[in-house]
Amino acid sequence: MTCLLYSHPACLEHDTGPGHPESRARLEAVLDALAAPRFQTLIRRPAPRADDRRLRLIHSDAHVEAVFAAIPRQGHARLDPDTVVSPASGEAARRAAGAVCAAVDAVLAGEARRAFCAVRPPGHHAEPERAMGFCLFNNVAIGARHALDRGLERVAVVDFDLHHGNGTQAAFEREPRVLYCSTHQYPWYPGTGAADETGVGNLVNVPLAAGTDGSAFRQAVEKRILPALTAFRPQLILVSAGFDAHRLDPLGALLLEEPDYAWITRRLLDFGTPIVSALEGGYHHQALAASAATHVETLLEG
C-alpha cells in the first residue's frame, strides 16, 4: 500500500535547550528508523510551510502573533514552564502544520491512502489561544479544519498519546463534524480528558489508570472508541500518534508495547478510510523509534 512520509530538516532545528525531553534527538531517532530498507517504498516528501491563514484555521490572530513575537533572535525563550522556543522554532512549527495539511490534500486527491508526518514541535496540547505542553500550534487540529474546508462532513481524530489532547478537544468540542477520540493516562498532565467530557456528543475520552497494560488498552478501545468510529462513519481519520504510552517512556506510567501500536493502527485501517498520522509525544528514544516504525510499517500493509 502506498504511504507518504512528510518531514523537513527545519523540524530538527527547533532547539528546546539542554535536558529538555522534546529534543531533536526524538525526530532523529524516528527518521533513522524509517531509513531502514523495509521502508524503501515510502514516498518521501518535504513538508511545506503553513502560512498564517492556515494557522488561523484553529488559532486566534492574537495567538499566532504572540508565538512569533516571542521567538528570540538568539538563545531561548519560554512560552510556559514547559514550552521553549529558539530562533528556528517558527519555521519548524510552520513545517509541522504544513505537513499535515499537505498530507490531507494528498490523500483526498487519491495520491495515497495513508500518510505519516514525522515532524516537531508536536501539537495536540496547543489550544486556540494558548501554547503549552511543548506545543506551539495544533498540527492535527489544523489539518482537520483544513479537511472540513475542503468539503468533508465527518472527520475523526484518534489520539493515543499518553497525555490528553486538550488543545484538540478545545478546538472541536462544539463542532459535530469532528469526532475526537482519546486514550490517555488519567489523572495526569494536562488534567483534562475525564470520561464525562463529551462536548456535543463528539468527544470520546477514555481515561486509563497508571499501570494499564496493552490488554486493558485494547479492551478500552474495543469498547469505547471503535463503536464510536463505526457510528460516525468518518471520511478521513487523523491520528495524533504519540508513543509515550510505551512502558519504557519516562514521562508516564502506561505499559504499552510495539504490538499494541500495530494493533490499533490495524483497527483504524479496518475502516477503509484515508488516514493521516502525525507524530506527537514519545521520550524514550529507542522505544519511540521502534513504536513509530511499527506504526508506519503497519500503515504500509496492504
pTM: 0.98
What's the chain's length in residues?
A: 302
Q: H-helix or E-strand containing 172?
A: helix 166-172
Q: How many CB atoms lie within 10 A of CB 197?
A: 17
Find the catalytic residue in 125, 146, 163, 246. Answer: 125
In the structure, what pLDDT confidence band is assigned to residue 229 with cuts at 50, 70 and 90?
Answer: very high
In the structure, what pLDDT confidence band is assigned to residue 1 with cuts at 50, 70 and 90?
Answer: confident
Q: Is the pLDDT of residue 302 over 90?
A: no
Q: Is the pLDDT of residue 136 over 80?
A: yes
Query: Residue 276: what pLDDT?
Result: 98
230-253 pLDDT per residue, tens? 999 999 999 999 999 999 999 999
Over residues 195-218, mean pLDDT: 98
CA distance 302 to 298: 9
125 is catalytic: yes
Q: What is the DSSP string of 252-301?
A: ---BB-HHHHHHHHHHHHTT-S-EEEEE----SHHHHHHHHHHHHHHHT-
Query: Residue 116: what pLDDT?
Result: 99
b/e per residue, 145-180, with b = 16+ CB within 10 A?
bbbbeeebebbbbbbbbbbbbbbbbbbbeebebbbb
Q: H-helix or E-strand containing 122?
A: none
249-279 pLDDT per residue, tens? 999 999 999 999 999 999 999 999 999 999 9
Domains of the chain (ranges; CATH) run: 3-299 (3.40.800.20)
Q: For the chain, what is the mean pLDDT?
A: 98
Query: Residue 218: what pLDDT?
Result: 98
Cell 510552520 sits on residue: 94
58-90 pLDDT per residue, tens? 999 999 999 999 999 999 999 999 999 999 999
Residues 220 and 183: beta-carbon distance below 8 Å:
yes
2-32 pLDDT per residue, tens? 999 999 999 999 999 999 999 999 999 999 9
Please give the angle made by the CA atoms of 124, 254 and 18, to the nearest 5 degrees: 60
Cell numbers describing residue 53: 491563514
